């Protein structure tokens, strides 16, 4: 079907035409996005006038009003390339004429212009994203899985993508409908045609109210989107269940060997087996039939779904069939939790995507011994959304009741009834940020109750957040609510509960507090974070096992360099599984699960090592990319003491993990970890050593992942990408001498199947 013949069907719910031209499309990194757009109104939030989306969760876009009302912004996945401080950016005022908006991506510099005038400019913390041959272009929603309420309402006259950064003069000289230059892709709607003019894109899909009227592309909102596809999205030539062609067999083996040789792919941290774990949240964790079961979120090229793995020892994982798929009315799957009911049936909760408002909170269950088959009840959308990610209903007195219907938690039981939580980001965005209603600002979670796991009733907000702990712009998503054990070995609960969650801007954090069962309320008593300078430790998931141990995972968001994401066939990994418990002083205890010791190979031991300031100590034979270290140190008067790992021979690259006594912090310094890859920051976690207590550091190195734990009460996990191949380890002290009482080291055996 040609582009011209599409238009008799425009306005239908969905029309898909795949396969096609654009053979040999090259990758796109440095670039310029330009659009002449006319918003229908300035109250809209989060829609895009022009997006390039790589089908794996990554996108760059010209977005209106997502973080600040009426502000244009460079959109990107989880704000990876988006400056979030936009209060000083000019608000759009024009709705009766077209404005030219351009975004220039040049190295780490992003520059936005409006009608040729500087609108915003900043440096990214990350490398620019590279868009490969599979990338699609969109008008309406800012990315493929955005909510239907987050689509651009208005008109578009002309849109272009250039494969190089244009200068302000070059952008100002552009005229709609005419070009003397060479756009990488170009759409001009003024003559009534929708075809992409360079021939790079030739197949289209329209969703909702999309039409050509009066010489412009008109997008009616409520999810209305025009999507254009290159040839790279053609259907696969082989499907499971069909006879397996020899190239598929050989390609599978070669892919495994390719992944085994990848210098940044972890060997004992869980990693999405292949494809794109972005977002890569861990979900649906349950202890069932003697095994730990864990779901992982990934994008299959068309939609988000849950993969499924299980383990006897939390170290070696068996891969199961995909568990929760984009079917039965679900057009995609987002985060949720797990639960085993008293009958022994396993349940998974999830946020279902699809339809104008998304599906809302959904459930599925499994009865088979390996949890290989999951069933969605006929009415599996148990808390439907009225808007994307939230629900508005009328109360008994006619008042408006608003609650979140996104990111359901695990389920728990109390007095024979079932409870679960939902996250609040969509409510925060609409009511807290856009409308400025104070009661909807900051993090919270919404409580639901059920008698049968299929009919759910909203009760009330579960707790009240405090600005002394969290910011007004922080949300609560991916919540997990579990009783907190009193020791790392599990046993009896401590009487306190733990609420794990993320804010999208600052990552994983937690509350410890009292569960007021009579009032069905949680009363936070202490608050803590698991990431501090960014959101690199993200999306927690947790379970309580048969011993009463609380085990958690989190997604590490600092994905591999863009060249690897596009060409190496994988992304997405988790931090080590952590044990969490309540310490005697009321703080949160944490350490990696004990089962990791099964990976230890020959032990190397040193005692009574003196560390002199300014004289790093390199120990013979202590090097490796798969390593565990345990240091017991008397810091004395040293201001800093720790280790540098993944150090190149010339010292140009190194990752430092250390205790900073002067600042009372455990730190990981990745500013010299690579030659320009990854997030180069100093992560700093609060940590003190009272009254002569020795410092005990446990350090784990796994190719591109480093983790450090201090005295079983603080931990940091980061991803790094050492480009010079260094494996040297040095110990160091600064400010004064320190004494290493004991140092034990083990090379670790890989546990991932490939």
Do 600 and 517 share a structural domain?
no
Report the pLDDT averaged over residues 236-246. 75
CATH code at position 257: 2.115.10.20
If asked whether residues 492 and 599 sit together in one domain, one would say no
What is residue 302's predicted lDDT score, i.e. its pLDDT? Answer: 78
Q: 3-state class of 566 per DSSP?
A: helix
**What is the spatial order of strands in the sheet that 59-64 belongs to?**
15-16, 203-207, 225-229, 136-141, 47-53, 59-64, 72-76
CA distance 515 to 413: 13
Residue 53: closest CA among 134, 173, 122, 108: 134
CB burial string 386-395: b at 16+ within 10 A, e below: ebbbbbeeee
- Quickly tell me which residue has 């599990």 as its tokens: 490
Report how far apart, in Å, the C-alpha atoms of 731 and of each of 617, 701, 723 are: 5, 15, 21
744 exposure class (CB count in 10 Å sphere: 0-12, 13-18, 19+):
middle
Q: Of 592, 608, 633, which one is at a domain's C-terminal end?
A: 592
Using 50, 70 and 90 to split pLDDT, how confident is the model at 678? confident
**Mean pLDDT along residues 458-468:** 97
- Give strand ranges (E) for 171-236: 185-188, 203-207, 210-213, 216-220, 225-229
The overall average pLDDT reported for the chain is 90
- CA dist 105 and 707 (Å) reads 33
Contact 77, 278 (CB under 8 A): yes
Same domain for 461 and 473? yes
Q: Is 169 inside a domain boundary?
A: yes
> Where do the DSSP E strands lie in 249-358?
275-276, 282-288, 291-299, 304-311, 318-319, 332-334, 338-340, 346-353
* Structural domain includes residue 500: yes
Read off the pLDDT of each residue in 641-646 and give the average, rounded to a whole number.
Answer: 96
Confidence of residue 205 (pLDDT cuts 50, 70, 90): confident
134 domain-assigned = yes
**Which stretches does DSSP call E strand in 25-116?**
31-39, 47-53, 59-64, 72-76, 99-106, 109-114
User: Which one is predicted more confidently, 10 or 88?
Assistant: 88
Question: What is the Cα–Cα distance from 528 to 530, expressed in whole angstroms?
Answer: 7
Nearest of 295, 376, 388, 374 to residue 328 by alpha carbon: 376
Q: For residues 227 and 18, what is the distance between their CA atoms, to the nearest angstrom?
A: 11
181 pLDDT band, cuts 50/70/90, is confident
Task: Output phi, psi for 96, to 5 deg.
Answer: -110, 10
Arithmetic mean of pLDDT, 497-516: 97
Same domain (yes/no): 551, 634: no
Check residue 354 and give its pLDDT: 83
CA distances from 378 to 273, 335, 365, 383, 557 (A): 31, 20, 12, 13, 35
Q: What is the pLDDT of residue 566?
A: 60
Name the one residue in this structure whose structure tokens are 């991932």: 752
**Domain co-membership, 367 together with 495:** yes
**β-strand partners of 288:** 291
Q: Is residue 498 part of a domain?
A: yes
Range of the domain at 601: 595-748
Summarised one tens digit per residue, pLDDT across range 361-398 is 999 999 999 999 999 999 999 999 999 999 999 988 88
112 DSSP β-pair partners: 103, 120
pLDDT digits (tens, 9 = 90+) for 321-333: 999 999 999 989 9
End residue of a domain, out of 200, 233, 266: 233
* pLDDT top residue among 251 and 566: 251
Backbone angles phi, psi at 8, to 5 degrees: -60, -20
* 257 CB burial (10 A radius; 0-12, 13-18, 19+): exposed
| ω into 364 cis (within 30 of 0) | no
Choose between 572 and 4: higher pLDDT: 572
Across the range 481-499, mean pLDDT stands at 96
**CA-based nearest residue to 744, from 635, 601, 615, 617:** 601
CA distance 565 to 570: 6
Model confidence at 345: pLDDT above 90? yes
Element (H, E) at 260: helix 246-260
Query: pTM for the complete prediction?
Result: 0.76
Q: What are phi and psi of 95, to 5 degrees?
A: -130, 0
**Res. 125: pLDDT tops 90:** no
Is the predicted pLDDT of residue 11 greater than 50, yes or no? no
183/257 same-domain check? no
Residues 626 and 481 reside in one and the same domain: no
State how beta strands 275-276 and 570-571 pair. parallel
**Average of per-residue pLDDT across 239-265:** 86
Q: With cut-offs at 50, 70 and 90, classify the pLDDT of residue 5.
A: very low
Spell out a b/e string for 27-46, using b for 16 or more CB atoms within 10 Å of the CB, else e: ebbebbbbbbbbbeebebbb
205 or 615, higher pLDDT: 615
Residue 353, token pair as written in the block: 């995507």
Question: Where is the domain boundary, 544, 563, 592?
Answer: 592
Dihedral sign for Cα atoms in the order 331, 337, 338, 339? negative
- Local structure of residue 559 (DSSP, 8 states): P
Chain segment 255-313, per-residue pLDDT in tens: 899 999 988 899 999 999 877 787 889 999 999 999 999 999 998 877 899 999 999 99
Clarify whether residues 440 and 561 are in a common domain: yes
Residue 753 lies in a domain: no
Residue 676: which region, alpha, beta or left (left: phi > 0; alpha: psi -120 to 50)?
Answer: left
Measure the CA–CA gap between 482 and 479, rounded to whole angstroms: 10
Beta bridge partners of 422: 446
Is residue 6's pLDDT more than 50? no
- Among 594, 466, 474, 454, smallest CA distance to 526 is for 466
The fraction of the chain above a pLDDT of 90, given in percent, is 74
Instruction: Give the mean pLDDT of 81-93.
Output: 93
Residue at 393 is within a domain: yes
User: For the residues 534-558, what does the mean pLDDT come to?
Assistant: 95
| More confident of the two residues 726 and 1 | 726
Tokens, residue 194: 């929708």
pLDDT in tens, 564-609: 666 777 888 999 999 999 999 999 999 999 999 999 999 999 999 9
Provide the percentage of residues in the chain whose pLDDT is more than 70. Answer: 94
> What is the pLDDT averaged over residues 477-481?
98
| pLDDT-based confidence at residue 560 (cuts at 50, 70, 90) | low
Same domain, 644 and 561: no
* pLDDT surpassing 80 at residue 23: no
Helix H or strand E segment including 658: strand 655-660
Give the CATH number, domain containing residue 83: 2.60.120.200
* 677 CA to centre of own chain: 18
Domain count, the chain: 3
Domain-embedded: residue 239: no
pLDDT at residue 229 above 90?
A: no
Name the burial class of residue 726, with classes exposed (0-12), middle (13-18) and buried (19+) by CB atoms within 10 angstroms of its CB: buried
Residues 315 and 421 both lie in one domain: yes
Strands 573-574 and 550-556, bridge-based pairing:
antiparallel
Task: Assess if residue 351 is contained within a domain.
Answer: yes
210 and 150 together in one domain:
yes
* DSSP SS3 for 245: coil
Give the largest Cα separation in the chain, rounded. Answer: 82
User: Sign of the C-alpha dihedral, residues 673, 675, 679, 680?
Assistant: positive
Say whether pLDDT at 12 is over 60: no
* Parallel, antiparallel or unpaired: strands 738-748 and 600-611: antiparallel
Helix (H) or strand (E) holding 413: strand 412-414
Could you tell me if 47 and 108 lie in one domain? yes
Taking a C-beta distance cutoff of 8 angstroms, is the pair 657, 699 a contact?
yes
pLDDT digits 0-9 by tens, 88-114 = 999 999 999 999 999 999 999 999 999
Interacting residues of 253 by C-beta distance below 8 A, sequence separation 6+: none
632-649 mean pLDDT: 95
Residue 146 has what pLDDT? Answer: 79
| Helix, strand or coil, per DSSP, at residue 134 | coil
How much is the pLDDT for 231?
56
> What pLDDT shows up at residue 279?
83
């Amino acid at each position: 079907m040609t582009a011209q013949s599409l238009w008799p069907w425009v306005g239908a719910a969905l029309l898909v035409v795949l396969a096609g031209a654009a053979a040999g499309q090259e990758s796109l990194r440095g670039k310029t996005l330009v659009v002449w757009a006319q918003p229908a109104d300035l109250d809209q939030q989060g829609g895009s006038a022009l997006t390039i989306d790589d089908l794996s969760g990554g996108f760059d876009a010209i977005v209106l009003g997502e973080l600040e009302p009426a502000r244009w912004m460079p959109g990107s996945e989880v704000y990876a390339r988006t400056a979030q401080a936009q209060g000083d950016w000019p608000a759009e005022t024009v709705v009766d004429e077209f404005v030219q908006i351009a975004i220039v991506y040049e190295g780490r510099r992003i520059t936005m212009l409006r009608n040729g005038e500087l609108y915003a400019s900043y440096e990214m913390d990350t490398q620019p994203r590279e868009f490969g041959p599979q990338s699609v272009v969109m008008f309406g929603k800012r990315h493929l899985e955005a909510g239907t309420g987050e689509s651009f309402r208005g008109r578009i006259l002309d849109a272009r993508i250039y494969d190089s950064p244009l200068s302000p003069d070059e952008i100002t000289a552009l005229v709609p409908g005419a070009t003397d230059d060479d756009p990488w892709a170009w759409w001009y709607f003024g003559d009534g045609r929708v075809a992409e003019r360079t021939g790079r894109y030739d197949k289209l899909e329209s969703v909702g109210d999309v039409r050509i009227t009066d010489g412009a592309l008109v997008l009616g909102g409520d999810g209305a989107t025009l999507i254009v596809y290159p040839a790279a999205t053609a259907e696969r030539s082989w499907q499971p269940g069909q006879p397996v062609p020899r190239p598929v067999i050989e390609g599978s083996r070669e892919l495994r060997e390719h992944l085994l040789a990848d210098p940044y792919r972890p060997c004992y941290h869980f990693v999405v087996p292949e494809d794109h774990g972005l977002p890569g949240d861990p979900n649906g964790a349950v202890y069932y039939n003697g095994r730990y079961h864990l779901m992982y979120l990934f994008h299959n090229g068309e939609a988000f779904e849950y993969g499924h793995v299980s383990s006897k020892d939390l170290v070696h994982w068996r891969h199961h069939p995909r568990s929760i798929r984009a079917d039965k009315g679900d057009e995609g799957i987002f985060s949720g939790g797990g639960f085993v009911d008293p009958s022994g049936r396993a349940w998974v909760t999830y946020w279902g995507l699809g339809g104008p408002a998304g599906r809302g909170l959904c459930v599925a269950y499994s009865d088979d011994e390996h949890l290989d088959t999951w069933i969605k009840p006929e009415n599996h959308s148990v808390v439907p959304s009225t808007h994307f990610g939230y629900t508005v209903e009328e109360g008994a007195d006619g008042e408006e009741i608003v609650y979140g219907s996104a990111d359901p938690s695990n389920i728990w039981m109390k007095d024979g009834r079932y409870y679960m939580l939902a996250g609040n980001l969509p409510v925060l965005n609409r009511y807290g940020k856009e409308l400025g209603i104070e009661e909807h600002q900051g993090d919270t979670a919404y409580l639901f109750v059920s008698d049968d796991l299929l009919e759910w009733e909203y009760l009330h907000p579960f707790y009240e957040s405090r600005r002394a702990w969290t910011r007004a712009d922080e949300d609560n998503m991916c919540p997990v609510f579990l009783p907190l054990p009193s020791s790392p070995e599990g046993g009896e609960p401590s009487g306190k509960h733990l609420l794990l969650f993320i804010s999208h801007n600052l990552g994983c954090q937690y509350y410890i507090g009292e569960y007021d069962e009579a009032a069905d309320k949680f009363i936070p008593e202490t608050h803590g974070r698991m990431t501090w300078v960014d959101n690199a430790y993200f999306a927690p998931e947790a379970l309580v096992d048969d011993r009463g141990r609380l085990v958690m995972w989190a997604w590490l968001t600092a994905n591999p360099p863009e060249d690897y994401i596009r060409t190496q066939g994988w992304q997405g990994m988790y931090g080590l599984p952590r044990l969490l418990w309540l310490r005697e002083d009321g703080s949160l205890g944490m350490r990696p699960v004990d089962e990791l010791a099964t990976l230890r190979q020959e032990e190397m031991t040193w005692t009574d090592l003196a560390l002199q300031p300014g004289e790093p100590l390199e120990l013979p034979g202590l090097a490796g990319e798969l390593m565990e270290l345990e240091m017991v140190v008397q810091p004395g008067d040293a201001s800093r003491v720790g280790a540098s790992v993944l150090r190149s021979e010339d010292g140009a690259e190194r990752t430092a993990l250390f205790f900073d006594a002067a600042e009372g912090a455990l730190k990981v310094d990745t500013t010299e970890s690579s030659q320009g890859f990854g997030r180069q920051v100093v992560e700093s976690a609060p940590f003190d050593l009272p009254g002569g207590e020795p410092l005990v550091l446990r350090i784990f190195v796994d190719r591109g992942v480093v983790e450090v734990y201090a005295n079983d009460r603080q931990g940091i996990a980061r991803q790094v990408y050492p480009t010079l191949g260094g494996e040297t380890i040095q110990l160091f002290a600064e400010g004064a001498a320190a004494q290493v009482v004991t140092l034990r080291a083990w090379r670790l055996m890989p546990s991932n199947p490939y």
